[in-house]
Structure 1
Amino acid sequence: MALPDFEGWAIFVAVIEAGSFAGAADALGLSRATVSKAVARLEARLGTTLIHRTSRRIAPSEAGRAALARARRMLDEGEAADAEAAAGSASPRGPIRLAAPMSFGVAHVGPLLPAFAARYPEVTVDLHLSDARVDLVGGGFDLAIRIAELADSSLRARRLCAVKRPLVAAPAYLDRHGRPGHPRELERHLGLLYTNLPQPDLWRFRHPRLGEAAVRVPGRARANNGEVLLPLLLAGEGLAYFPDFLVWRELAAGRLEEVLPEWRLPDIAAHILMPPGAARPARVELLIDHLVRALARPPWRAAGAGP
């Protein structure tokens, strides 16, 4: 029985992640010739091209893209086995790639990292901030924080905290334009629209007795990040539904006012998503536990911004 070429697969993954043979050689502490020969050996063994090479760039072939996620999982399993065998005899070390939404990452993930770094000095965190939905497996991420209703998928999820989405406006805006009593009145108002949604201008509400209502709101401004709209909101240029972690201070101080409090947009939650498979390196499990503990009662809950 022929054993899998684990070294070849590890080098193949390193080449793709580094974007070049030279970069992979530097990252692995190998010569470029060794890296090139390992990939060539793997391709010869498989009878297919895994990486297309030009004078300027490399790119995975179709077969390479199909094999990449499985190769990463294989390496993760191996690393987890190493970590389990070495548990108790060595401190965790190595990189963690974490993706998070921009505003949530800046306000509530970044401040949690110093304590983690102090406790585990040999672990490095590569934090990728974007409101766009990342591909965990294709992007090589260990973890992602996602704030949304989760679609069915093969990804594993662990809940962090609830996220409410109140409809809010500055008192000055409501004084000028009136305080709506029903969602249908929002058709005559100005919305500040978050565009990382399938239909940013279509707002769907639920009432405990009156059922559901959907309304299209004219857009005063649009952006693919909610926080950038906050100055417009505070200046009285429109109303918006914002996650509570962005507006809890303004609501508490009276700079913003909740609109239609009995008509609610469905609550969502922040989750940690993980690639499929049970095995993860110990350092990744430690970061998951750190985030779960810290965000079990987040600051906007402790400050009294809702249950």
Structure 2
Amino acid sequence: MDRLTEMEAFATVVDQGGFTDAARKMGISKSAVSKHVSSLETRLGARLLNRTTRRVSPTEIGLAYYDRARRVLNDAGEADALVTAMQSAPSGLLRVSVATDFGVNHLSPVLGQFLHSYPEITVNMILNNRYVELISEGFDMAIRVGDLEDSSLRARKLTETYKRMIAAPSYFEEFGRPEKIDDLNDHKLLHYSNQASGNVWKLTAPSGEKRQVRTAGSLTVNDGQSLLNAAIGGLGIAYLPSFLYADAMRQGLLVDAIPDLPMEVHGIYAVYPPGRYTQPKVRAFIDFLVEQFRDKGPEDW
């Protein structure tokens, strides 16, 4: 006989308190339930049930076996449900966390296309500039730019972005152009206030040496678009990703502050909680984003 069926028959007898109710629960005859349990006891070489004319109860060994058997049966049920879910059409609420700059400029414009393709999915996109805890805060996934700090999360790379110092030509006409990293001490820097490191820029010198620049600036704000606007307005030098500045540079509104410096390359990732499988709604959205950003970055935005 099938081992899992024997196990299910025994566990159902314990749950229902007897063979008659167990048979009704399983949709089979009482004699079939009895045969399954007897076969299980014979195979194990142990009596699992105390049988009297009034009631059926597990023996001490039977109770211990029941605890393990119930776990196995629950896991089997979840496995069946998993296969069904993975083959079903993506649906349900998808909660996504994304940095404001990237979300407004590059995610919001394509959401309509995604929702049109998957009408059974609803999206709750949270735009913020803080590092959210996916599981504890109830997010299905997040879009993150730069190094991934939490190695326990699963991640899929969507594209890349450059990050470099840019300013308006009018700014350099008024204040001169820096030729090396140390020259930044004499310039007005536009800082992003949400960086964990504070007003510090991590740069790479032409020699490959890693440098940190900590200089007070004329503006500190927690929004990249505002920094971009300030740079275009000639207020100072900003250190921004290419997905923000690329269009302004193509129009000649901004230029590279120190062209000789290596450009920093940062990955853009979809991250989601670890697990043995990916929910269909999450998988569908990530596949959609991979296709959307296939020809984007690091400079072409």
Q: Would the TM-score normalized by the shorter structure come out above 0.5?
A: yes
Per the TM alignment, residue 153 of structure 1 is displaced from its structure 2 partner at its CA by 2.4
Deviations 1:101-130 (A, max 9, x none): 112111111122112111111111111111
Q: 2:109 & 2:256 partners in 1: Cα distance?
A: 28
SS at match of 1:167: strand
Q: Deviation of residue 264 (structure 1)?
A: 3.4
List aligned pairs for 1:145-156, cutoff 5 A: 145-156=143-154
Cα contact 2:246–2:300 (8 A) shared by 1: no
Q: Secondary structure at the match of 2:163?
A: coil
CA distance 1:270–1:300, shift in 2 (3 Å): closer
Q: How do 1:9-88 and structure 2 match up within 5 A?
A: 82=81, 84-85=83-84
Give the match for residue 234 of structure 2: 236
For the 8 Å contact 2:161–2:265, the answer to whether it is kept is yes
In the alignment, what sits opposite 2:159?
161
User: Quick one: distance in 1 between partners of 2:82 and 2:121?
Assistant: 13
The aligned runs of 1:203-214 (5 Å cut-off) are 203-209=201-207, 211-214=209-212
- Cα distance in 1 for partners of 2:157, 2:85 equals 29
Equivalent residues of 2:167, 2:256 under 8 A apart: yes
1:199–1:87 CA distance, 2 compared to 1 (3 A): closer
Match status 1:131 vs 2:132: no
1:50 maps to what in 2? none
| Residue 255 of structure 1, aligned match among 233, 253, 265 | 253
Answer whether contact 1:83 1:281 (CA < 8 A) is retained: no
Partner of 2:187: 189
Distance 1:87 1:139, change over 3 A: closer
Q: Distance in 1 between matches of 2:210 and 2:90?
A: 50
Q: CA 1:186 to 1:109, structure 2 compared with 1: closer, same or farther past 3 Å?
A: same
Which protein has the larger Cα radius of gyration, Structure 1 or Structure 2? 2
In the alignment, the residues of structure 2 paired with residue 289 and residue 250 of structure 1 have an alpha-carbon distance, to the nearest angstrom, of 29
Unaligned runs of 5+ in 1: 4-73
Partner secondary structure for residue 103 of structure 2: helix
Structure-1 separation of matches of 2:283 and 2:208:
44
- With over 3 angstroms needed to count, the CA separation of the structure-2 counterparts of 1:115 and 1:187, relative to structure 1, is same
Output one character per residue of 1:128-183: Cα deviation in whole Å (capped at 9) or x when no partner.
11111111011111100011211242111111111111100011111111100011
Q: Determine the structure 1 residue equivalent to 2:37.
A: none
Deviation at 1:236, TM superposition (A): 0.6
Letter in 1 for 2:283: E
Aligned CA distance change for structure 1 residues 81 and 203 (closer, same or farther; 3 Å): farther
The answer as to whether partners of 1:248 and 1:300 remain within 8 angstroms in 2 is: no
How far residue 266 of structure 1 moved from its aligned partner, in angstroms, is 3.1
Are residues 173 and 211 of structure 1, via their aligned partners in 2, closer, same or farther at CA, if it must alter by over 3 Å?
same
CA 1:153–1:87 in 2, change beyond 3 Å: closer, same or farther? closer
Aligned pair partner of 1:215 in 213, 216, 221: 213
Match of 2:272 in 1: 274
Compared with structure 1, are the counterparts of its residues 292 and 237 closer, same or farther at alpha carbon in structure 2 (3 Å cutoff)?
A: same
Matched AA of 1:84: V
Which residue matches 2:173?
Answer: 175
Q: Is the 8 A contact 1:193 1:221 kept in 2?
A: yes
CA contact (8 A) 2:265 2:298 kept: no
Task: Report what 2:102 is aligned to.
Answer: 104
* Shift in Å, 1:293: 1.4
- Paired position in structure 2 for 1:114: 112
Q: Look up the equivalent residue of 2:241 and give its one-letter code.
A: P
Q: TM-score, normalised by structure 1?
A: 0.68
Cα distance in 1 between the residues matched to 2:213 and 2:161: 22
> Could you say what secondary structure the match of 1:271 adopts?
strand
Q: Secondary structure at the match of 1:173?
A: helix
**How many residue pairs align between the two structures?**
229
Q: Is the 8 A contact 1:166 1:261 kept in 2?
A: no
1:192 maps to amino acid: L
Q: Post-superposition shift, 1:239? A: 0.5
Q: Which amino acid aligns with 1:148?
A: G
How has the CA–CA distance of structure 1 residues 164 and 86 changed in structure 2, closer, same or farther, with 3 Å as cutoff? Answer: closer
2:85 & 2:95 partners in 1: Cα distance? 22
Give the Å deviation of 1:208.
3.9
**Equivalent runs, 1:284-299 vs 2, <5 Å:** 284-298=282-296
Over aligned residue pairs, what C-alpha RMSD do you find? Answer: 2.5
Deviation by residue 1:214-254 (Cα, 9 ceiling, x = unmatched): 32222111111211222211111110111100010110111
